[in-house]
Amino acid sequence: MSDRDYEEMQIGEWRINVETNRLYREAAEHQLSDKVCKVLLTLAENPGRTVSRETLIQKVWNENEYVGEQALNTAIWQLRKAFNDSSEAPEYIETIPKKGYRLLKEVSVIPYAPKPDMTSPPPAEPLETPVPEPEAKKTPNNAIEPPPVEPATETTPHSTTSIAPPRCRRPMIVGGSLLLLAGVALIVKLMYGREDAPPALTYWCGVDAGRMERLGIDPASACMLETDQGQFGLAIGERMAQISSSYYQSADTGDIAGDIFFCENNHKRQGHKNNSLLNFVTLKDRCMAQGDGEVDIAERGGARASLVCAGYLPQSIHLQTSTAEKHCALPAALTTNHPNAVKDPEYWYGVRRDELAGLGIDETASCLLTAEDPTWIDAIEFGWIWGSQRCTDSSSNPVGCGVVSHNAQRTGATVSDFFTQEQLQSRCADGADKIALTPTGWWRSEHKDKTSLDAYLLCDQQQPKAIQLSFKPVVGDPVEKTCALYY
């Protein structure tokens, strides 16, 4: 933190010293670890703005997500404890669901204090105190005079006769004593527990609290059934699902979904999650094949969970044991179709939109048929798509041709070959009045041959006349539309 041009930050009523990691105010003081201090300073350098968890992990833990995820949770907990803050009604650090954290207080910086002037004159040397001459001792004439002895320096009023220890010895003794006391305190806290330690990793049905928060799961709202072995039931997470399929793709932040959890004997560290994620796609898939009634989705030790369907839509989850049962409601996001969420805006009837003009395809000139089928995940769109430059002839020149396509699912797809004008004329030359262009059509495996999208070439006097589109839904009457050949 020495690269900063300030010594302290004022955060609300608190100050943080960037050199010592000391958080303090008038009557309180906390010594933060280096990582916790870096988290606080990163938030303080972006006051009022949301800082993502990814950014904090990248800056503080060098993108080590495996370590940083839990460490960040602990760091936020320690900061809230130091500020005496609350996650439910925060005054300092606010959790922004699906994004990160935000510092709510105003922040100001306090520059380094100016360094003292080092050009002041040196102190004057002390004056020497004169030492009196020692008196000469008289000896007998025949005595041997001892060798002269160097006179001892007599003490001055400002000196002492004892030899003083080095000046650094006392701080070393005090520091050693403090270190010894700290070691004893640490041993005691390890043996008997620490009141200021971060909370132990807690579990609910085998999932730790940090992951529960990231997935948006509220254990208190789970629909659980008591059994002899413990609990089992449905829990919903607001960000649990990352869905990717041929007709649906969730946002990066995730979507609402549920799962069946088994909590054996309520032991929070040994819970088990069912393997089938209950998102909109999987539930709708089950009910598209089931229609009305129940279909099993999870079973363990005699406890069974089934999906209740009505009108090809999911309704609820039915929990059952040999002695009890319970119905769990599903949120609206899992019980209704998502017509606006299943389309990829980059595609139109199986063609990328940025390629339409280059192929000579005019969206407004194409012949399209739209129909509803309650068994399907969204509206059915079927069409004869013509491009003035889409195909090539035998000389590799671009020529016009058409194809039968659908715009169902996420990107749509073609269900026939590409036919040039010459190829259509060749087919009518055989003399038939109606020729199938989609011999296999488009059908859904869950309904076998009940659903079909077909196209036929209509001929008149051995010349192509029109294209007929035909849709046969699982529920409802067939729908047809006749399209002109060229535009």
Strand, coil or helix: 209: helix
Task: Delimit the domains of the chain by residue range.
Answer: 6-111, 203-334, 347-483
Please state which architecture CATH assigns to domain 6-111: Orthogonal Bundle (1.10)
Provide the β-strand partners of residue 435: 457
Contact at 8 Å (CB) between 268 and 203?
yes
φ, ψ of residue 135 in degrees (nearest 5): -75, 145
Distance of CA 429 to the CA centre of its chain: 61
Q: Which amino acid is at 14?
A: W
Segment holding 387, helix H or strand E: strand 380-392
Q: What angle do CA 434, 437, 443 make, to 5 degrees?
A: 120
CA–CA gap between residue 459 and residue 453 (Å, rounded): 20
Burial bucket for residue 25 (CB in 10 Å: 0-12, 13-18, 19+): middle
In order along its 487 residues, the chain shows pLDDT tens digits of: 445 677 888 998 899 988 889 899 887 888 998 889 999 999 999 988 999 988 888 888 876 654 567 788 888 888 988 898 888 788 999 988 878 899 998 888 887 666 555 555 555 555 454 555 554 444 444 444 444 444 444 444 444 444 444 444 455 555 556 666 666 555 544 444 444 455 555 778 878 788 888 888 888 889 999 887 788 899 999 888 888 787 787 777 788 999 998 887 655 556 777 777 898 888 998 898 888 999 999 988 888 999 999 989 999 999 999 889 999 999 998 998 776 677 888 999 999 999 999 999 988 888 999 888 888 888 888 999 999 988 887 788 889 999 999 988 888 888 899 999 889 999 999 999 999 998 777 766 666 666 788 899 999 999 999 999 998 888 888 899 999 887 5
